[in-house]
Each structure stands twice: as structure tokens, then as C-alpha cells.
Amino acid sequence: MSDDLRSLTDLDRLIHEPARLLIVTILSTAESADFLFLQRETGLTKGNLSAHLSKLEEGGYVKIEKTFKGKLPLTVCKLTASGQKAFQGYRQQMQAFIMQTK
């Protein structure tokens, strides 16, 4: 079997998880996004979104900055360089998979 296919087993799980793939995809086009924006766009619960963002942050894929908008908390997220690279890598791996199957 082709190595491209076998490489499926080492897909980056941090990105492969659908909820995070969605988050990262949005961030890849948005330059930066706040928590509530991400929640609306993804449809995730706050709890889930918070947990996934924390994982992405731990992995170094997302930078999270907590500030205030007026008097309310504001959490702003953006993809790091490493996050962008990981996303592109994932995308390419998936593209290879698509092209090798039928």
C-alpha cells in the first residue's frame, strides 16, 4: 500500500478533531477572532469551545489574548505561525488522501 495512505495514521490529532478543524479553519481566514464570534460561527457550546481553544493554545497553534471590551471580558484568538503550518500540512495530507482514493 502507498505510504500516503498509511500516513493517515499519523494525522495531527490536534487538528483532526472536527471541532478544532473548524476553529482552525475559521482562524485561518480571519486573522483574529473573539470567543463569541467563534461560538456563533462554530455552533459549539461555550464549554466546548473553551476546552478546544485551550488545547490549541497548549499545542502552540493558537494565541489567546484576554482583554476587555469596555467592561466586559474579551478573548481574542489568532492562529500562530505554527498553527498555520499545521493547518496547511493537514490540508495537504487530506488532499493527498482524496486524490488517492476514488
- The answer to the question of residue 44 lying near its own copies (CB under 8 A) is yes
Write down the residue that cell numbers 467563534 correspond to.
38
DSSP string, 66-87: EEEETTEEEEEEEE-HHHHHHH
Q: Are strands 33-34 and 62-69 parallel, antiparallel or unpaired?
A: unpaired
- List the interface residues with DNA, window 16-75 (CB under 7 A): 17-20, 34-36, 44-55, 66, 69-75
- Residues of this chain that interact with its own copies (CB under 8 A) are 1, 5-6, 8-11, 13, 16, 18-19, 21-22, 25-26, 28-29, 41-44, 91, 94-95, 97-98, 101
